Structure 1
Amino acid sequence: MLPITSVRPLLYAAALCSALTACSPPTAPPRQEFPMLAVAGAVLYSIDLRGDDDMPIVTLTAPATLTDVARDPRTGAVYVVSSDRLYRADLRTGGVSAVGGRNMNALNALAADAQGHLFAGDEYGGFYRLDPALSVAIRLSETHGPEPLSGDLAAAPDGTLYATMVAGSSDRLVTVDPVTGAVQSVGLTGVDDIYGLSFRRGTLYGMTAGGDLLALDQRTGHARVVRSTGIRHVYGLD
């Protein structure tokens, strides 16, 4: 048996530990990571980054050709765009509902940042912030980018937007300031027709129109082929 003089410090330490645990703020549960989505025609696909188990999820009943897809990481809400309209998509039924159309023209890129803010780009290299509540696109800059937009945007964890632009036989990876719309070249990817971009666990992934899944170097722009998904006519990635 321990002497009383030894027991008291142990009891005090246990009580203090319990009090500190009770007073410490609760740890927030990790945010759910949703599957990567690709849109090809009117079909949404789930992309398997750990293997090759890609599969169609739903065919959307959109009234126009869809050019990209994005998901709000906070709520899981899925948005798609046509050239002149923003829609919210129901993955259970395939239905879509228009939530925006003002000041939208030739859109071919869509992204959501960590706070759920939506951004879009057009074929001419213009960038916008979309406000579903007001159904309007707000232009970030009065000038277009230096080159036509290839086909997607993706928001990095720090809020920086990445985009691919057409630069001859290769697409160019660029960064886009989400406030001013200023474009900064990162480098040539060595691949053309990169119509999809998406961040997952700090890695920037891309997808070509022909369904090649890519990993892009955020420092140089170089694109490495991860594998072929077999999906054709890809227009966007989330």
Structure 2
Amino acid sequence: MAEWPNQNSSRGGYDLAGNPVSQSAAVDAGLRSHMLKVYNYMASAVLLTGIVAMLFAQSEFGQNLFYNPSILTWVLIFSPLIMIFAISFGINKMSQGTLQAMFWTFAVLMGLSMASIFLRFTDTSIARTFFATSAAFAGLSLYGYTTKKDLSGMGSFLIMGVIGLIVASLINIFLQSSGLQWAISFLGVLIFAGLTAYDTQQIKNTYLQLAGTEFVGKAAIMGALNLYLDFVNMFQFLLNFMGSSE
């Protein structure tokens, strides 16, 4: 995972009229700009993933790939996970441009791997679930940004929950248990709801550590990636409850 230096080099500055700006005001303005950049990255990636998924699901190749599973299907499904590991463990050696390119590549791969939802669920139920997820995400992220409560204690517990979900999901590939799938989906919604608030607070805290350093650009991309994963996973788990089959 990314290891950011523990420092804060923000020293204030001057506004457009040449008047001095206090360190606190400069940090607040920088934080707002940083969070806006994070949300722009995240929203653009979600949009890219949705467009790629819809177009791929409409293609003959995509339909054959999911209706007649092969090794290529599994490679496609697990390719985003491999990309996550590559980004997480290689971030300190990457330039910001390389990291950004990998971020967009990841969003495309996620779109390809998620195309099957357009073959399994109706467009109406997908849209309904998307808007429900968006509303929940906005509220949870706002809470994480504004709360004075330290959410860091939730982090290790939630990450352990994610690992448990991955293991249970892999097991259920072979068991094909509908009961276990419902349990996974229910816990998945709760875990990624919690991670949305937690990650938002972590993005804010990371900026306060890195303000004024060269690492802020990378931090914005990684923050967007974390929120993207929270949103997409919450959407997919919620779709199991709200989705209507084709």
TM-score by length of 2: 0.25
TM-score by length of 1: 0.26
**Structure richer in strand, relative to its length:** 1
Tell me: higher relative CO, structure 1 or 2? Use CA pairs within 8 A at least 6 residues apart. Answer: 2
For the pair shown, the structure with the greater C-alpha radius of gyration is 1
**Structure richer in helix, relative to its length:** 2
